Amino acid sequence: MSWIFDSHIHLSDPEYQSDMAQIIKSMEKLKIKTCCVSMDYETSQKTLEISKISNLILPFIGVHPEMAQNDISKTIELIEKNHKDITGIGEIGLDRTYINSEDQWKKQTDVFKKHLELAEKLGKPISVHSRKTLEEIFEILNSYSIKRVLLHWFDGRKSQLQKAMDLGYYVSFGPLLLYANDKQTLISKARRDRILIETDGPVRFSGCFGMKTAQITFLQSIIFCASKILGLKYNEMEDVLEKNSLNYLGI
């Protein structure tokens, strides 16, 4: 039985705290490891804290574009101080939804670049938020030598997917894959060695799972759906995803 990796989940979110013991038990039973991403300094601290509870929780710390207008100096210091203990840097990226001016766009871009500098320096994988900003992200990433890039919750055009594949980036798909035709088309066009899966919890999904907070147990349904789309047996899909996840994480 292969290990299953949730490539992007916010276990540091308060939504999960009262259930953390049960979540870890489920991870142990189902052979699941999670890339626990962060939003800001406080959640980065929390991510590091819970990663010490179980080695199945792989800590990614950094500043989400929604929080990029705040002072990031403490988060940057946290990354540098704990670089031997963190698995990757994230969730980082760009998103104009969270800004109101070009000055704020510049600040968001500068924050993204600061994280990329650290990822390059430390040799860490990154988990990138790229909603409606893929072209800008492609251009910026071109200036850095970062070998392991995940465009989480990939939502671009087919041409942008092809560009991501040509660049050797990873793309991840979540519960939307169960009912969104565009996501099913995208995964069918992606290179098999560049596909990952995620829950992006605690997001709730309107088209499946009854609007419940995303749980790691959803991953098996995503794997089943992906296997049907790609014409693989379930265990073959598991093997592909495990290999991809290990390569992305560098472990």
What is the average pLDDT across 204-223? 93
Work out the percent of the chain whose per-residue pLDDT is above 90.
Answer: 98
Mean pLDDT of 172-183: 97
Determine the average pLDDT of the residues in 17-38. Answer: 97
| Average pLDDT over every residue of 233-242 | 98
- Among candidates 246, 245, 217, which has minimal Cα distance to 152? 245
Report pLDDT for 122. Answer: 98
**Pick from 170, 136, 178: nearest CA to 153:** 170
- pLDDT surpasses 80 at 172: yes
- Model confidence band, residue 173 (pLDDT cutoffs 50, 70, 90): very high
Would you state the pLDDT for residue 123?
Answer: 98
Residue ranges per domain, the chain? 4-249
pLDDT at 88 over 90: yes
pLDDT digits (tens, 9 = 90+) for 186-199: 999 999 999 999 99
pLDDT for 43: 98
Q: What is the mean pLDDT of residues 102-120?
A: 98
- Find the mean pLDDT for residues 142-160: 97
Indicate the fold that domain 4-249 takes in CATH.
TIM Barrel (3.20.20)
Predicted local confidence at residue 206, as pLDDT: 86
Strand partners, 127: 90, 150
Mean pLDDT computed over 155-159: 97
Confidence grade of residue 248 (pLDDT, cut at 50, 70, 90): very high
Q: What percent of the chain has a predicted confidence (pLDDT) above 70?
A: 100
Q: Which of 146, 147, 161 is nearest to 195 (CA)?
A: 161
pLDDT the model gives residue 92: 98
Does the pLDDT value for residue 104 go beyond 80? yes
Q: What is the pTM of this model?
A: 0.97
Residue 1 pLDDT grade (very low, low, confident, very high; cuts 50, 70, 90):
confident
At 159, the amino acid letter reads S
Mean pLDDT to the nearest integer, 77-99: 98
pLDDT of residue 237: 98
> Which amino acid would we find at residue 247?
N
